[in-house]
Amino acid sequence: MELKKYKLGEIINVARGASLSGEFYATEGKYIRLTCGNFDYLNNCFKENKSKDNLYYVGDFKPEFLMEEGDIITPLTEQAIGLLGSTAIIPESGKYVQSQDVAKIVCKENLLDKDFAFYLISSNVVKQQLSAAAQQTKIRHTSPDKIKDCIVWIPELTEQKRMGKLLRTLDSKIELNRAINQNLEAMTKQLYDYWFVQFDFPDENGRSYKSSGGKMVWNEKLKRDIPISWETKLIDDVAEIYNGATPSTINELNYGGDIVWITPKDLSDQKQKFVYKGERNISQVGYDSCSTHLLPSNTILMSSRAPIGLLAIAKTELCTNQGFKSFVPKSGNTAIYLYYYLQHHIRQVEQLGTGTTFKEVSREDILKFPILKPSDNVLDLWEEMVSPLNDRQLEIQKENESLTKQRNELLPLLMNGQVLVNSDLSDD
């Protein structure tokens, strides 16, 4: 396959967004201003920015700054390491206003396929050039001119279309899976709310307990009414709590073994509900050298150092570093309930954090944290209903990890011409 050398400026136009005055930022309105928070740079896709509450813009702006569905955008400010060179696609027309931290990419269609361009700009070839040319300030910046100065090698247009279609098909499947998992998680959270917050779990006659007049009693510890047969316990009563530890980094014999070892980075980067592998395993020598614990499947993992409150369910035997408190349920029907109980009360857990250098929640404080203990028959029914949803989420999560790995390995091979796309396959 023949590749032709271009500067990006020869095959795309790059337009900076508008300078939007802060006096017109609002908590509600018709238009949302695009920011760097709209880039999911780990998955290279668009995300809704939920980190701020003043994202609406109620001032005037030129029509060309109102984005259309399918527009390609890339950030001009590196507010997180690795952000420069990320791309995203606008999901809806007439809703998002382009700000000056975001550039719009427009392809010269006789030279560059739009789908191919999305992956080209986010490829390592372009990212490395942008990183090298970024202004070295506290927060690094790039510019439309620096993007246009990047050198790329691309195939002819027909081959671009095949590549773009294949990669877009993989990403569409990943996005669909992600949406399915979000819906499954929303269903589970809603069920938790009905049963354990509103107390409308099914009674012995299948009716909603509280709504149908189920007896409630005041609980002094929780400062609210709870079902009469339920109890208030301490976390210590329902789960064993373990600290983690880290082997010495001096001795490399401690690492590279078969024992799965989790750090908070494995949760914060992936944002996954389930974990069954970490960024780095440890050896039996490493395990024996420190005071970490081997934890069974269905252990609830919670990061107890900043950021406090990242939660996951272990789906293999593993151990953790000292950034975690791990909850091993004493009863088989408690694990999923405990995960959602901690998630629902995570703000109260965070408030237990103390320390000057960094905040940390101690094991002793976690042991004394109160938990509402439902009756066993309700927990059994909850487990029976929710376990299939969790199993399906895990299955989809694993499939997405496999698809993402396949896409990431395929991308550089396609971009440098080492792999061709079969024309019959691309037409399927």
SS3 of 161-222: HHHHHHHHHHHHHHHHHHHHHHHHHHHHHHHHHHHHHCCCCECCCCCECCCCCCCEEEECCC
Query: Over 70: is that where the pLDDT of 382 sits?
Result: yes
Q: Which tokens hold the place of 69?
A: 């569905």
Q: Please state the rounded mean pLDDT for residues 143-152.
A: 95
For the ranges 201-205, 211-215, 371-375, 415-419, the lowest mean pLDDT is seen at: 415-419
Cα separations in angstroms, 282 against 53, 248, 323? 42, 11, 16
Q: Which tokens hold the place of 47?
A: 């995300």
Which string of b and e fits 208-217 if b means at least 16 CB within 10 Å? Answer: bbbeeebeee
Query: Over 60: is that where the pLDDT of 425 sits?
Result: no
Q: Please state the rounded mean pLDDT for residues 132-136.
A: 82
3-state SS assignment for residue 414 = helix
323 contacts 353 by C-beta, under 8 angstroms: no
| Nearest alpha-carbon partner for 195 in 68, 23, 79, 344 | 344
Q: Please state the rounded mean pLDDT for residues 368-381.
A: 95
Query: Over 90: is that where the pLDDT of 30 sits?
Result: yes
Q: In which band, very low, low, confident or very high, does the pLDDT at 43 lie, cut at 50, 70 and 90? A: confident
Tell me, what's the pLDDT at 21?
Answer: 94
Per-residue DSSP letter, 38 = G
Which range of 7-11, 50-54, 269-273 scores highest in mean pLDDT? It is 7-11
Cα separations in angstroms, 87 against 121, 137, 185? 7, 22, 27
Per-residue DSSP letter, 85 = T
Query: Over 60: is that where the pLDDT of 369 sits?
Result: yes
Query: Over 70: is that where the pLDDT of 423 sits?
Result: no
pTM metric for this prediction: 0.85
Count of H helices and E strands in the chain?
A: 13, 25
Query: Could you name the CATH architecture of 231-373?
Result: Alpha-Beta Complex (3.90)
Q: In which band, very low, low, confident or very high, does the pLDDT at 341 lie, cut at 50, 70 and 90? A: very high
Q: Which tokens hold the place of 74?
A: 């890339």
Query: Over 60: is that where the pLDDT of 426 sits?
Result: no
Query: Over 60: is that where the pLDDT of 5 sits?
Result: yes
Query: Over 80: is that where the pLDDT of 25 sits?
Result: yes
Q: Which tokens hold the place of 220?
A: 């002094």
Q: In which band, very low, low, confident or very high, does the pLDDT at 63 lie, cut at 50, 70 and 90? A: very high
The residue among 403 and 414 whose pLDDT is bigger is 403
Q: In which band, very low, low, confident or very high, does the pLDDT at 92 lie, cut at 50, 70 and 90? A: very high
Residue 417 backbone class (left: φ over 0; alpha: ψ -120 to 50; beta: rest): left
| Nearest alpha-carbon partner for 133 in 123, 125, 124, 143 | 143
Look over the chain and give the mean of its residue pLDDT values, rounded to a whole number: 92
pLDDT above 70: percentage of residues in the chain: 97
The residue among 252 and 17 whose pLDDT is bigger is 17
Tell me, what's the pLDDT at 424?
Answer: 58
Tell me, what's the pLDDT at 202?
Answer: 95
For the ranges 209-218, 244-253, 299-308, 413-422, the lowest mean pLDDT is seen at: 413-422
Triad 31, 94, 148: Cα angle to 5°: 95
One CATH from 3.90.220.20, 3.40.1350.10, 3.40.50.10310, 3.40.50.300 for 4-154: 3.90.220.20
Query: Over 80: is that where the pLDDT of 417 sits?
Result: no
3-state SS assignment for residue 365 = helix
Q: Please state the rounded mean pLDDT for residues 4-29.
A: 95
Tell me, what's the pLDDT at 251?
Answer: 86
- Provide CB contacts within 8 A for 194, sequence distance 6+: 200, 201, 208
- The C-alpha atoms of residue 260 and residue 317 are separated, in whole angstroms, by 7
Q: In which band, very low, low, confident or very high, does the pLDDT at 379 lie, cut at 50, 70 and 90? A: very high
Which string of b and e fits 379-414 if b means at least 16 CB within 10 Å? Answer: bebbbeebeebbeebbebbeebeeebeebeebbeeb
Q: Please state the rounded mean pLDDT for residues 352-363.
A: 87
| Nearest alpha-carbon partner for 244 in 194, 273, 287, 210 | 287
Q: Please state the rounded mean pLDDT for residues 58-76.
A: 96
Q: Which tokens hold the place of 327?
A: 């909850």
400 contacts 383 by C-beta, under 8 angstroms: no
Question: How many residues are recorded in the chain?
Answer: 428
For the ranges 327-331, 343-347, 418-422, the lowest mean pLDDT is seen at: 418-422
